[in-house]
Structure 1
Amino acid sequence: MRFPSRLLLANMVFALMLWAGFFVLVVAVTVGIAVFGTLNESVWEKAVQVTRWYALFVGVALVREFLPMYIAHGQTRRQFGAQAAVTVALFAPFLSALMAVGYLLETVLYNLAGRPQALGRAHLYAEPTQVPLVLIEYLVEFLAWIVAGALVGAGFYRWQGGGLLTIPIGVGLVVLAEGAIGTELRLPFLGSLPLRVDLPQSLALTLGTGLGTFLLGLLLVWAVIRDVPLRNRLS
């Protein structure tokens, strides 16, 4: 098996198909709001918050599904760890680019309809057309969510129920990244209670915190999988 190129390509193709279907759904919702209600905010901004959970799932699957597969085909754990890091480092900006393209296409639709594309929450960018800032924000966010998912996936793969202990650490990584872009994390089971860390807002700090969170997450994942035994699928 060619790794990481095959795994990376498979994830990119799948993400692109999901994005296309998701964008069509968002457009349909947008048209419905414009016809039956008042359209004065970006629907894409609200809808893409669910993509963070997709990024989390990618991280979980990276370890739980692909670690045993590639080790069984001759990869060492060290090789898998290094190449998985490359995969995440390339896949996260790809997802970020899809988010930026979604904003640009939405801008075209809103301009044609003569509707304002206002943003409803804090961002690094003030306008959806500020593509570099859009890319940076979602890159920092996706890197954190993917490595958090990989950490939790590794924890449950190695310790089964004991993997619950990795969840607060994964949440901490995500909260740190969200703080770097000036927003907060809201989890369904915590109701309206936000998880937030307030950091000074600067582009350099955002990039540094994002990179630091990513590297810290990789180190934690490696600490879990470096000598993890392979498990039988039925165990």
Structure 2
Amino acid sequence: MSVYRALFRVYRPIIIPFAAILVTFDLIVTALIVYGAGHLGFSMWLVLAGNAAKYWLLVVGIMLVVMQLRQFVANGATRHEFLAGFAVFGLIVAAGFAAVVVLGHGLESLVLGAAGRRGVGYPTLSATGLLGEFGQVLPEALGYLISGALIAAGFYRWRPWIGLVVMLGGAVPLAVADSLLGVDEFGNARAHLPFLAALALSLLATALAGWAFHRVISDVPIRRTSG
């Protein structure tokens, strides 16, 4: 079995309950706000799902290094195979979560509009706006994932004080993506750069961090478990 397929087997029991809890919580909170105020002036889905997805990916990036790297190499996978599987798995999961965030926003906008519950300031999302929002959410998801992986790799390979230095560099992709492409609860980008410029800077930061992660992990000694 390929590494990325094995990773999906590991994380599927985590992804499905996480998504179910997120949807349930969003429905409850949105219903309470609409019941109390009569309308919703912002996107609760962007608040909850938008933030939960990217921080979940940050944690997954950390776990893939701290937990799965040793397991896969100990069971015969090379570091190159693990890194390739990591890349495929990470891209699919990041794209999947980005799609969920955008489609959820679109569905929320549609339902609130049909019920006459969209308040002033709510970021209405049309069918033509789906692709544009996906183009903002996906680079942010990738930035958080690779930041988590590089931060974990720094602490995994070196002493804590060196890991702290690596952590500063590892945080760059998520910081750049968040500041340039992040979307708030009103659907507004936090930065005012042209989209293509913001996208290029974010992808460049993520690509450089990905290269650094590859360099750190490609020959890292695998720690033995205690006992």
Alignment TM-score, normalising by the size of structure 1:
0.81
For residues 70 and 199 of structure 1, do their structure 2 counterparts lie closer, same or farther at Cα, with a shift above 3 Å needed? farther
Partner of 1:94: 96
Question: Within 1, Cα distance between the matches of 2:133 and 2:183?
Answer: 14
What is the deviation of 1:158? Answer: 1.6
Equivalent residue runs for 1:11-50 within 5 Å: 11=11, 14-37=14-37, 39-48=40-49, 49-50=51-52
AA of the residue aligned to 1:157? Y
AA of the residue aligned to 1:138? V
Equivalent residue runs for 1:187-206 within 5 Å: 200-202=193-195, 204-206=196-198
Partner of 2:143: 144
Per mean C-alpha deviation after superposition, the further-off stretch among 19-28 and 44-53 is 44-53
AA of the residue aligned to 1:86? V
Partner of 1:128: 125
Gaps of 5+ in 2: 185-189
Question: Within 2, Cα distance between the matches of 1:201 and 1:234?
Answer: 51
Partner of 1:155: 154
Contact 1:179/1:198 (CA < 8 Å) preserved in 2? yes
What is the deviation of 1:152? Answer: 0.9
Q: Give the number of equivalent residue pairs.
A: 217
What is the deviation of 1:73? Answer: 1.3
Root-mean-square deviation over aligned CA pairs:
2.6
Partner of 1:171: 171
AA of the residue aligned to 2:218? R
1:77-110: CA deviation from partner (whole Å, max 9, x where unpaired):
1221222122212221111111122112312331
Per mean C-alpha deviation after superposition, the further-off stretch among 9-18 and 141-150 is 9-18
For residues 73 and 127 of structure 1, do their structure 2 counterparts lie closer, same or farther at Cα, with a shift above 3 Å needed? same
What is the deviation of 1:34? Answer: 1.5
Alignment TM-score, normalising by the size of structure 2:
0.83
2:203 corresponds to 1:211: yes
Question: Within 1, Cα distance between the matches of 2:13 and 2:102?
Answer: 17
For residues 213 and 9 of structure 1, do their structure 2 counterparts lie closer, same or farther at Cα, with a shift above 3 Å needed? farther
AA of the residue aligned to 1:55? L
Q: Secondary structure at the match of 2:136?
A: helix
Contact 1:140/1:207 (CA < 8 Å) preserved in 2? yes
For residues 161 and 117 of structure 1, do their structure 2 counterparts lie closer, same or farther at Cα, with a shift above 3 Å needed? farther
Partner of 1:4: 4
Partner of 2:217: 225
Contact 2:173/2:202 (CA < 8 Å) preserved in 1? no
Gaps of 5+ in 1: 121-125, 185-196
Partner of 2:226: 234
Question: Within 1, Cα distance between the matches of 2:142 and 2:200?
Answer: 13
Equivalent residue runs for 1:72-91 within 5 Å: 72-91=74-93
AA of the residue aligned to 2:48? A
Q: Secondary structure at the match of 1:52?
A: helix
Contact 2:139/2:203 (CA < 8 Å) preserved in 1? yes
Q: Secondary structure at the match of 1:215?
A: helix
What is the deviation of 1:147? Answer: 0.1
Contact 2:140/2:182 (CA < 8 Å) preserved in 1? no
2:59 corresponds to 1:57: yes
